[in-house]
Structure 1
Amino acid sequence: MWDGRDGCGMGVAMGSIDLAVEPDFRLGPWLVRPSLGMASRDGAEVKLEPRVLQTLIVLVRAEGRTVSRAELMRTAWGLEVGDDAIGRCIGRLRAVLAIDGVIGFETIPKIGYRLNVAGQAADTVVEEPAAVAAAPAPARRSAPYLWAGLSLLLTLSIAGTALLLNRPGDAPPVAQVTPVTTDPGQEVQPAISPGGGQIAYASDRAGQGFDIWVQSLSGGTPVRLTDDPAHDLSPVWSPDGGRIAFVRVPSSGPCQLLVRPVPSGPERLVGGCTTFREVKPAWADNDRLIFADKASAAEPARLWTVALSGADAGTPVPLTSPPAGINGDGDPAVSPDGKRLAFMRHRAVGVSDVIVRDLTTGAEMQVTQDERKLHGLEWSGDGRWLYTSSSRAGDFGLWRVDPEAKAPPLRIAPGLNQLGRIGAGGDRVAAEVRTNRSTLLRLLPDGGTEPVVPPSNRLDWDPDVSRQGAVAFASDRSGMFEIWVADPGQVPSPVTQFAGPFTQSPRWAPDGRRLALVSVVDGSPGLFILDRGSGRLRRVAAEPGAEDRAPAWSRDGQRLYFASNRLDGWRIWITRPPYEQAMPITEAGWRVARESADGRWLYMARDGEDGLWRQPADGGQVEKVADLPNAYDNESWVVGPDGVYLIDRPGNGQARIMLLPSDGGPLRAVADLPDALYKSSLTLDPDGRLIIGKYLGTLVDIVDVRMGPP
């Protein structure tokens, strides 16, 4: 099991691979030196932990065939370990070696892993260097292109600039990166016209919500296309370039789909969502739109089509059929020739891959194996490639994906700040470049606030405070979401190194020594426990393919509650030392459970249903205690000595902290939260004072990435 010392396994190597006598070898552009515990390329050296190197060597020796988990355990470990240990080693190899698409580590679900090296046959992957004592000379690079003049969004904290580097043979190289927008407001969701000369986007620059704007990519004044009190979002050009479809988000209720001619003309309502408040549409052809929606809250999202004219105009027709138990499908993008549909399939929050569907036959093919978070998806102007913003290498870089999955994804640009929604057309890619900021604050009795940890220019959220005063929280301070801890009087430092997977929900045990948390392993959120004393991090109560969330300790620290869909629907489960097995304690339909301060009651929230229930902690009759909104969001409420605190977000957007007293008194407001962070991560410190996540702002602009000739 994972112990935190060498990255993915036991601290002492016990497998059949002796790194001290393993010869050096080349893997694509890398020189791997097992006896020195390192790999190098272009003059840069990277340390690799022993178990990571042993895993790599097993995959290299396999010469392109799939290696089973059992074979990896036998050869690299020499003992049986959990799937999470192997997954962490593969994750480390992906984060270090697979940064540009030349080398790929493919997960074969339920079977094992396979090494892919672009442009090399399996029997030539390993190459003995001519002189193992000398590092290779740095490879020549084409001229780097400077990201400059992109305001604070494109500023690195230690340098202020960054480089986009292209190696010879990469196609297409990035020829130029220029800002499209630099206004103080937010410009989001870019869409490039089919000819590549214009860009549409949503902006709040007018000061009354988001509207659709259009401007030329060669310069000129932006033109406001819509002017409505509601938010207008997600513009997308029709194939003939004469119209723009977009989404209108009313003050209440599901979203609406509208179409408007460009540059002028009346807008027309063409359809609407059933449950979703916001979606990204796509044109199937000049008379049909594709969008994501749920027929009911209990179903996964699927893609639908809606005709703009004819007898069936305005009536949604289902297009995709995602498997049950996942979040579903979204972010559709149709190829320029109209024959293929690319979309994201979201297995869980932060776990997505790209699917390509033949619109004639209905055949679908998964073309990425990332199992990471994706933020954008568009076709290149010639239909040869897909572009996506992915965290597959840790940060959100821009990647090129082969829609036929014949070549591994290729990294085009690094993520300086977080890359968001993208648009593509002609030889251009437009991308959101965003910096999200939030901080953790303690509410004071006089109505004021004070920082809980030193503020940063990144996202700090999802806090929990131990009885000893140590603050654990999720943050992207390192450029990737990890768990950080600030001991009393100390600056925060990361305590995990997952290097890319979405990591969240740190929860302290009463002893202040154990910290439960959630991170993605092999495509599913899994439950981990970190021992602060030894640094040992291990997955607990693992069930392959199951989604585990919302950990919460019992008041005596002997039980760990969590939600899981490992049976038919979401249930509350418990695991006890040694945390190898788990058992359900509820029927299907429950999503969150937390004990009362005295340990007598177990408060629970149902899956997708407003309200709060409780039952005796040792079992008994379940009773509804309040019609509380958002209780199924496990970051929105916390149980304290005085009762249950929760965040209420009414329709006018003014969030409040409410208290449901433990003595049975009425629900009452205790504080206003004008800048509440989404999933504001409510918790209590040892003195019973509330700690919240406060939204500080999002800086978003759009850049134009111009591709050069192949």
Structure 2
Amino acid sequence: MTVGAWQIDPLSLRFIKDDKSIKVQPKVMELLLYLAQFPEQVILREELIKNVWPEVSATDDTLNNMVGKLRKVLIADSQCQSYIETVPKKGYCLRAEVVKTAKKEKQKIQPKSFKKPLILGFTVAIIAVFLFFMSQKVFIHSLPSSTIDLDKPLETLSITSHQALEIFPEISPNNKHIAFIRAPEGLQSNQLIIKDIDSGNERILNDIAGLYGNPVWSGNSENIAYIHMSGSTCTVRLVNMQGGPSRLLSSCSGELIRTMRKSLTWDKDTNSVIFTKNQETKKALALFKVDIVSGQALKLTNPPENMIGDANPSVSPNGKLIAFTRTNESGVDKIMVLNIVTNIETEFATKSQNLLGIDWLDNDSVIYISDASSRSELVLLNVTDGSEALSRISGRSMLHPSFNTASRQLIFSELQSNANIVISKRLNENHSEKLIELKSSKFEREVVFSDDGQFIVYTRLLANGSELWLYDLTTKEQKRLVKPDNAFFKSIAISPDNTKIVLNAITEKNSSIQIYDIERQHFFNLETVDIKNPQSPSWLADSKRVLFTSKKSELWLIWQTSVNDSNPTLITQQGGNIVVESDDGKNVYFSRQGEVGLWQLSLIDTQATPVKMTQKITEEFQTWKMKNGIFYFLKRQSIPSKHIYVYTPENDEIKLYYQSSGAFNYFDINHDLVASAQLKQFSADIFVMQF
């Protein structure tokens, strides 16, 4: 970029003209770059202070001092003395011609075979050949799909090992360093760390107070862009990997950093970054692209208003596609792929509703981590046909994946945490009284109440599987029902007569439905014959039969079977993935993953088709119960809180039942009890997984 007679280099913080080269402070450069966005326009003092110093409470004196320094640089050339004009009682105006110079093609460094990051792709020659032949397609297939065997054991190497939270790992393109965030004392303070891969030496890049997140490397391995939070102010900043002062690139959205989602990545040209930001007129978060030289921002995505918005951006190796997650108000994620050439978005309905990070495997496939009840799943999604392949990673809670195509390695953070179960009595919509807290050094998660209100059943997450526990609310005694055996439990339900427990058991290879007989203390498999991956079991009113679901192609099948035989009966092929029986046994009700609404299906009329009950439910919901014809369900109101709502079909009304601050909430509608799994402490180390 040129401003008048000066050549401006924001990365090196230099003003260049003829034989002059003057290095300035970062804020001087930020001030000029902001003024340069609006040449010949008067910029108010308040606007300059707000945008150049978003992280601190700057004053008029601060601005006057920085304008003086900028003028001092400009008047080093006699032709440039009048570039900055003071407009009394208003602000300043840049009286100079601003020309944005063409971007130079960055020289690509051929990395070593060990730990080559995904963003470089294969060699330039291979990419050029494939682009030539495939340039007319919406999805550019410039690289062949990778063949990764997710069924074989995956070797894992520890990169860090501290009693701290170490997250957002990113390997430099030259394979020499890893950038990551370390929070020694939770999320109140943290550090931006650069770690030398060979020597293990570390360097801290913090230069201003606040929280740091999501560091990403430029293509030349010289600079790092990152998210910075100061109070409620979120900014994208840039710093040289050798350290020194950082500089502002743009404002952004800090909500995602608090929930540990990625919201920033470099574009392939190394001169711009892509990040998540609130839209001016809409609540939903969108993806924006900002040029680090000119400061100009371009909006890339336009999510609907009934969305939380877009996050986890990742650019394909050929730079033609952007994969990202789009989250609705219920917290359900979908993978989206934006074709930068055609500006067409393609939506993919994935097997999982909660995605913890995505990255490109090649130009045809992305790899993502899903949160699948007590352990992570690695899933490969082919963006050409929507097909998926997955591998369950027992006992691992994985975050922030970055895949290396050359070395076939995945770098990620693994979360270790513990949570206590807190049981409270609901007093009204906004208040509750804590009754019991079950303290644990492990992670307690899914909680269900017995219909008589006498006990709860919950799962405890261990590295080698889930344990099943029972806590008696009257005697205050607890006991373990099932030891871990490399299976993880979800979708727990207690029979109406309070004598049995049904659950979904998930192993490395498949899922099954298990029954625990409380009186006989017997744990056994519910035979589902040849039905593949049955899930979401629930009890019928007689406590002798179970409903469950399975998926065939894009259809959700609902089945019914007896606890004592092995002959499941298909109820419908037009069902959903969460299903319960009505109180009178005449109907079943279900919700569908990926769709909004609640459906009813008659069990009396075998020819009946499902009927959508209401248009009032405007978002997906997956956790719900029914009592006396009234439905209670969880709705994600804001990240990560969940509120409980009640839907009454008789008058087609939805009302707030309980407002909660907890991320995991389970409720007993018979006795107005609420249980939440409250995190107490957590840490994370960085690992590399070899494929």
| 1:693 equivalent in structure 2 | 676
Q: 2:536 aligns with which of 550, 570, 574?
A: 550
Contact 1:590 / 1:605 at 8 angstroms: preserved in 2?
Answer: yes
Contact 1:291 / 1:304 at 8 angstroms: preserved in 2?
Answer: yes
Q: Cα RMSD (Å) of the superposition?
A: 5.4
Q: 1:184 to 1:239 in 2, by over 3 A?
A: same
Q: 1:239 to 1:555 in 2, by over 3 A?
A: same
Structure 2 segments unaligned to the other structure (5+ residues): 1-148, 167-181, 187-195, 257-261
Q: 2:322 aligns with which of 272, 280, 290?
A: 290
Whichever residue aligns with residue 227 of structure 1, its letter is S
Q: 1:284 to 1:564 in 2, by over 3 A?
A: closer
The Cα offsets for residues 280-333 of structure 1, whole Å up to 9 and x where unpaired, read as 222335853421469999x996663522xxxx4533479xx99x9788999554
1:269 and 2:299 equivalent? yes
| 2:251 equivalent in structure 1 | 227
Q: 1:288 to 1:172 in 2, by over 3 A?
A: same
Q: 1:278 aligns with which of 305, 310, 318?
A: 310
Q: Which structure dedicates a bigger proportion of its chain to strand?
A: 2
Give the whole-Å Cα distance in 1 for the aligned partners of 2:603 and 2:324.
Answer: 40
The Cα offsets for residues 511-531 of structure 1, whole Å up to 9 and x where unpaired, read as 433211123234444322223
Q: 1:370 to 1:609 in 2, by over 3 A?
A: closer
Identity of aligned residues (%): 14
| 2:427 equivalent in structure 1 | 445
Q: 1:182 to 1:573 in 2, by over 3 A?
A: farther
1:640 and 2:670 equivalent? no
Give the whole-Å Cα distance in 2 for the aligned partners of 1:301 and 1:652.
Answer: 16
Give the whole-Å Cα distance in 2 for the aligned partners of 1:666 and 1:198.
Answer: 56
Once the 2 structures are TM-superposed, how far is the Cα of residue 557 of structure 1 from its aligned partner? 0.1
| 2:495 equivalent in structure 1 | 509
The Cα offsets for residues 33-53 of structure 1, whole Å up to 9 and x where unpaired, read as xxxxxxxxxxxxxxxxxxxxx
Give the whole-Å Cα distance in 2 for the aligned partners of 1:571 and 1:265.
Answer: 52
Whichever residue aligns with residue 689 of structure 1, its letter is D
Give the whole-Å Cα distance in 2 for the aligned partners of 1:672 and 1:536.
Answer: 36
Whichever residue aligns with residue 245 of structure 1, its letter is I
Once the 2 structures are TM-superposed, how far is the Cα of residue 222 of structure 1 from its aligned partner? 5.7
Contact 2:493 / 2:502 at 8 angstroms: preserved in 1?
Answer: yes
The Cα offsets for residues 149-208 of structure 1, whole Å up to 9 and x where unpaired, read as 76996689xxxxxxxxxxxxxx98883578878999865444334455544444544315
Contact 1:543 / 1:566 at 8 angstroms: preserved in 2?
Answer: no
Whichever residue aligns with residue 484 of structure 1, its letter is W
1:573 and 2:559 equivalent? yes
The Cα offsets for residues 441-488 of structure 1, whole Å up to 9 and x where unpaired, read as 333336422245425577544321123622112444779655433233
Once the 2 structures are TM-superposed, how far is the Cα of residue 673 of structure 1 from its aligned partner? 1.1
| 2:95 equivalent in structure 1 | none
| 1:49 equivalent in structure 2 | none
Q: Please give the TM-score of this superposition, normalised by the length of structure 2.
A: 0.56
Once the 2 structures are TM-superposed, how far is the Cα of residue 677 of structure 1 from its aligned partner? 2.1
1:175 and 2:207 equivalent? no
Whichever residue aligns with residue 526 of structure 1, its letter is S
| 1:469 equivalent in structure 2 | 454
| 1:37 equivalent in structure 2 | none
Give the whole-Å Cα distance in 2 for the aligned partners of 1:220 and 1:500.
Answer: 48
Contact 1:176 / 1:706 at 8 angstroms: preserved in 2?
Answer: no
Give the whole-Å Cα distance in 2 for the aligned partners of 1:470 and 1:511.
Answer: 13
Q: 1:178 to 1:582 in 2, by over 3 A?
A: farther
1:602 and 2:617 equivalent? no
| 1:50 equivalent in structure 2 | none
Contact 1:244 / 1:262 at 8 angstroms: preserved in 2?
Answer: yes
Q: 1:683 to 1:332 in 2, by over 3 A?
A: same
Give the whole-Å Cα distance in 1 for the aligned partners of 2:342 and 2:154.
Answer: 47
Q: 1:202 to 1:665 in 2, by over 3 A?
A: same
Q: Where do 1:176-191 residues align within 5 Å?
A: 187-191=212-216
The Cα offsets for residues 646-683 of structure 1, whole Å up to 9 and x where unpaired, read as 33455899864333458x356363544141426x3333
Once the 2 structures are TM-superposed, how far is the Cα of residue 235 of structure 1 from its aligned partner? 0.9
Contact 2:511 / 2:535 at 8 angstroms: preserved in 1?
Answer: yes
Greater displacement, 182-191 / 564-573: 182-191
| 1:682 equivalent in structure 2 | 667
Contact 1:236 / 1:244 at 8 angstroms: preserved in 2?
Answer: yes
Q: Which has the larger radius of gyration?
A: 2
| 1:539 equivalent in structure 2 | 525
Q: 1:617 to 1:224 in 2, by over 3 A?
A: farther
Contact 1:513 / 1:532 at 8 angstroms: preserved in 2?
Answer: yes
Structure 1 SS opposite 2:300: strand
Give the whole-Å Cα distance in 2 for the aligned partners of 1:263 and 1:704.
Answer: 33
1:484 and 2:469 equivalent? yes
Structure 2 SS opposite 1:688: coil
Q: 1:306 aligns with which of 339, 354, 370?
A: 339
Structure 2 SS opposite 1:585: strand
Q: 1:342 to 1:649 in 2, by over 3 A?
A: closer
Give the whole-Å Cα distance in 2 for the aligned partners of 1:365 and 1:566.
Answer: 14
Q: 1:295 to 1:589 in 2, by over 3 A?
A: farther
Q: 1:535 to 1:214 in 2, by over 3 A?
A: farther
Q: 1:652 to 1:583 in 2, by over 3 A?
A: same
Q: 1:667 to 1:366 in 2, by over 3 A?
A: closer
The Cα offsets for residues 527-566 of structure 1, whole Å up to 9 and x where unpaired, read as 2222335554333244668343322111220111122214
Greater displacement, 520-529 / 147-156: 147-156
Q: 1:264 to 1:592 in 2, by over 3 A?
A: same
Q: 1:175 to 1:305 in 2, by over 3 A?
A: same
| 1:629 equivalent in structure 2 | 617
Give the whole-Å Cα distance in 2 for the aligned partners of 1:458 and 1:452.
Answer: 17
Give the whole-Å Cα distance in 1 for the aligned partners of 2:207 and 2:567.
Answer: 53
Structure 2 SS opposite 1:578: coil
| 2:277 equivalent in structure 1 | 248
Q: Where do 1:13-32 residues align within 5 Å?
A: none
| 2:173 equivalent in structure 1 | none
1:147 and 2:147 equivalent? no
| 1:352 equivalent in structure 2 | 377
Q: 1:623 to 1:216 in 2, by over 3 A?
A: same
Once the 2 structures are TM-superposed, how far is the Cα of residue 570 of structure 1 from its aligned partner? 0.8
Q: 1:154 to 1:352 in 2, by over 3 A?
A: same
Once the 2 structures are TM-superposed, how far is the Cα of residue 229 of structure 1 from its aligned partner? 6.3
| 1:527 equivalent in structure 2 | 513
Structure 1 segments unaligned to the other structure (5+ residues): 1-105, 109-113, 119-141, 157-170, 390-397, 399-414, 419-434
| 2:61 equivalent in structure 1 | none
Give the whole-Å Cα distance in 2 for the aligned partners of 1:552 and 1:442.
Answer: 25
Whichever residue aligns with residue 426 of structure 2, its letter is L
Whichever residue aligns with residue 675 of structure 1, its letter is S
Q: 1:155 to 1:369 in 2, by over 3 A?
A: same
Structure 2 SS opposite 1:277: strand
Once the 2 structures are TM-superposed, how far is the Cα of residue 689 of structure 1 from its aligned partner? 1.6
Q: 2:401 aligns with which of 377, 386, 410?
A: 377
Once the 2 structures are TM-superposed, how far is the Cα of residue 265 of structure 1 from its aligned partner? 1.3
Give the whole-Å Cα distance in 2 for the aligned partners of 1:688 and 1:187.
Answer: 44
Q: 1:155 to 1:595 in 2, by over 3 A?
A: same
1:562 and 2:585 equivalent? no
Once the 2 structures are TM-superposed, how far is the Cα of residue 690 of structure 1 from its aligned partner? 3.4
Give the whole-Å Cα distance in 1 for the aligned partners of 2:513 and 2:588.
Answer: 20
Give the whole-Å Cα distance in 1 for the aligned partners of 2:597 and 2:397.
Answer: 30
